[in-house]
Amino acid sequence: MLGSLHDEGAARLSNKTYTISDLAREFGVTTRTIRFYEEKGMISPLREGQKRLFTPSDRVRIKLILRGKRIGLSLKECIEVIDMYDPQHNNTDQLHSLIDTIDSRRQTLQQQQRDIDDMLANLDQIKALCERSLSSYIAPDQGTSNRKKI
């Protein structure tokens, strides 16, 4: 399997499991959300009778899904990224195509980095203007455009 990342102490042979509300609480989502992810085939928890039993691996997948969402990926894109961890390799073509996918995903991420940097810089500017405006604050006043500081 090309080396499964995220085993989180594979040595411990961890057979720990989580309930659905454990994970919901940990990640600040509803149980509905987690069931929805299962419906979509994004996770496949075990069953103990009727109840779901989540493994550490399920837990990591959820974590990765939420990381994806934080940067604006759709759920579909989230699984695309996650599936890269466990490639159906064996095949040279597939490996090459995976590399292409990775490169393209990287482009997007780098564009996002630039966008975030830009936006942060803008926020800094605005904040600075706010603070200058506050420091020189005396009384309510209109047009501040080209007015010199008092």
Positions touching DNA (CB under 7 A) are 19-22, 29-33, 35-36, 49-52, 69, 74-76
In the list its own copies, DNA, none, the entry touching 118 (Cβ below 5 to 8 angstroms by class) is: its own copies
Count CA within 13 A, CB hemisphere, residue 32. Answer: 1
The C-alpha atoms of residue 77 and residue 83 are separated, in whole angstroms, by 10
Q: Which two tokens stand for residue 79?
A: 């699984």
15 binds its own copies (CB under 8 A): no
User: Which residues from 56-85 bind its own copies, rule CB under 8 A?
Assistant: 67-68, 70-73, 81, 84-85
Nearer to DNA, 31 or 57 (CB): 31
Q: Is 23 exposed, middle or buried (0-12, 13-18, 19+ CB in 10 A)?
A: buried
For residue 16, the partner it binds in DNA, its own copies, none, with Cβ less than 5 to 8 A by kind, is none
AA identity, residue 104: S
E strand or H helix that includes residue 99: helix 92-135
- Residues ≥6 apart with Cβ < 8 Å to 7: 56, 57
Pick what 30 binds: its own copies, DNA, none; C-beta below 5 to 8 Å, kind-dependent. DNA
> Which chain residues interact with its own copies by CB under 8 A?
1-3, 5, 67-68, 70-73, 81, 84-85, 87, 89-92, 95-96, 98-99, 102-103, 105-106, 109-113, 115-116, 118-120, 122-123, 125-127, 129-131, 133-134, 137, 140-142, 144-145
